[in-house]
Amino acid sequence: MNILGIGGVLRDSAAALISNGRIAAAIEETKLTRKAEPGRLPEASICACLKLAGLSHHDVDYVALARPLPPGSALPMALRMFSKARVVSVDHHAAHAASAWLASPFQDAVVITLDREGDLRCGAKWRGEGNRLTLDREILFPDSIGELYGRVTELLGFRSRSDEHLVQWLSATGEPRYLGVFEEMTRGHNFDQSFLEHDGFSAKFFHRADLSADAELNPRERADMAASMQRALENYVIDLAGEATNVCLAGGIAWNALLVSRLEGSGKYQGVFAQPAAGNAGTALGAALHVYHDAIDPAARLDGGGYGLGPDFSAAEIKQALENCKLRFRLLPIVPELIGAAVSQLKDHRIVAWMQGRMEFGPRALGHRSILASPEDPYSAENLNTFIKHREGFRKFAASVPAEVAAEYFEAGPNARHLATVGRVKPQYKKRFEGAILASDLIRVHTVSKEDNPLYWQLLHAFGDATGLPVLYNTSFNLFGEPLVCTPRDAVRSFYSSGIDAMIAGNFLLEK
């Protein structure tokens, strides 16, 4: 049975495919086309998903279409290419909920979906019990914690709907001095709209915060405002979850790694699962899971593994791209030689682009499309942030570590598997990982298992054998403002347009 999911059509479109009881593929359209085309069917992603599974349009049994759709959309007509498929429309937040609960290991959970707005709702609370997922509460716009977070993003001088993650990381450097103002606004999950205006905050908000509406916030005030919004979000979600055994999260708010870390460390829940592709693109996977649950197997839980669910490229395809670009490269025909070359580069404090296997689904690089650096390099933080990623100093990269030895260096929850949480560095290693610490002892941790990503896991162990430290700094392989690289040509362009020293793409090494 083959189920094709389509989601995020209005923004961040994607396709996902469940084939023969497993998640066979999931791909965001912008990673393939390298441009945003809202309102259009993600044709490139659909074709790529089918190709990865060895299927044609006529092999699809169900098309699961996550709402909302453009007004007067011609999508239903376009879907006639799936001649044998039944088309099922799935509510936006139902797709979010399915993406979290049905990809989690839990049989009993409270499922929380929170975003800015989707299908007139900005959030919902669900109860997953056994084989049933039941809507418990819905939150209607404009009582939107996502909208509020976006307005704080603009207040701090960032771009709403784009830079909310900057507020999260900035919050780690501040104190929640203005928490009382936000709690007054959001008490009981019914927002006091008198604090808000059409496109910002009212005079009442600034008066309660003892700030001038006309003056620009100074750096301390900015950090404290971010910390206050972040703490208010965390308190809001914990209150919404109530008495739960386990908690699942989806929707754009679930990308907030500090929120996930707070839930994991609260001691209130046995388990927490945050969907790695939590945003609109993830509704493609959620819609497919929703239909699979309803029509095929109500008891199923489909693990996305390491979320390497996108395209991969053969040695011949990579070699052709390199030769077409008239590049000099070195062939690394066997895995020990490939790993050895990478370790040699990293030991010499060279920054290495790493393109291996299937591209990740979701915004985070999990060791398939990554830029890697050695923690032993005293200039790695400056080189990665300033000269390669061109981003703020408070935005830190992750520390990748084999899952079975992670506890030696870090305290991290289970969502570190997908870089969806934040951990803490052990005191004896704080100085060693100084360049990646967000604030105090907070650090982004990525735990890598042999099952999820065997080649990257092997690289980490080999680096540990060579240096005594099986940890690498990891950030996404892309240029500033662009999605993860997908193809060999994308990788070549990003490599030669940045300060990266070397690239290992498949079995080929390129150096500058």
The phi, psi pair for 176, rounded to 5°, reads -80, 60
Residue predicted with more confidence, 449 or 386 = 449
The pTM of this model reads 0.95
Instruction: Provide the CA 481 distance to its chain's centre, in angstroms.
Output: 15
**330-340 residues labelled b (16+ CB within 10 A) or e (exposed):** eebeeeeebbe
Place of tokens 């999605």: 483
**Which pLDDT does position 381 carry in this prediction?**
77
Say how many Å lie between the first and final Cα of the chain, rounded: 48
Cis ω before 488 (30° cut-off from 0): no
Check pLDDT > 80 for residue 215.
Answer: yes
Residues forming beta bridges with residue 201, ordered by sequence position: 196
The helix (run of H) or strand (run of E) holding residue 283 is helix 282-295
pLDDT tens string 96-111: 999 999 999 999 999 9
Among 437, 401, 443, CA closest to 422: 443
List the domains of the chain with CATH numbers.
2-95+282-295 (3.30.420.40), 105-274 (3.30.420.40), 315-511 (3.90.870.20)
pLDDT-wise least confident of 144-148, 160-164, 194-198, 377-381: 377-381
Residue 263's φ and ψ, nearest 5 degrees, are: -65, -45
Residue 73: predicted pLDDT:
65
Predicted pLDDT of residue 106: 95
Residue 199 predicted with pLDDT over 90: no
Question: Over the stretch 235-250, which tens digit does the pLDDT of each residue have?
Answer: 999 999 999 999 999 9
Percentage of the chain exceeding pLDDT 90: 88
What digits encode the pLDDT tens for the residues 82-99? 989 999 999 999 999 999
Q: What is the pLDDT of residue 74?
A: 66
pLDDT at 380 > cutoff 90: no
Query: Which residues are CB-contacts of 434 (< 8 A; sequence separation ≥ 6)?
Result: none
How high is the pLDDT of residue 388?
A: 83
The pLDDT of residue 309: 98
E strand or H helix that includes residue 372: strand 369-373
Q: Which helix (H) or strand (E) holds 194?
A: none
Q: What is the pLDDT of residue 406?
A: 98
Q: Which helix (H) or strand (E) holds 236?
A: helix 219-241
pLDDT of residue 58: 95
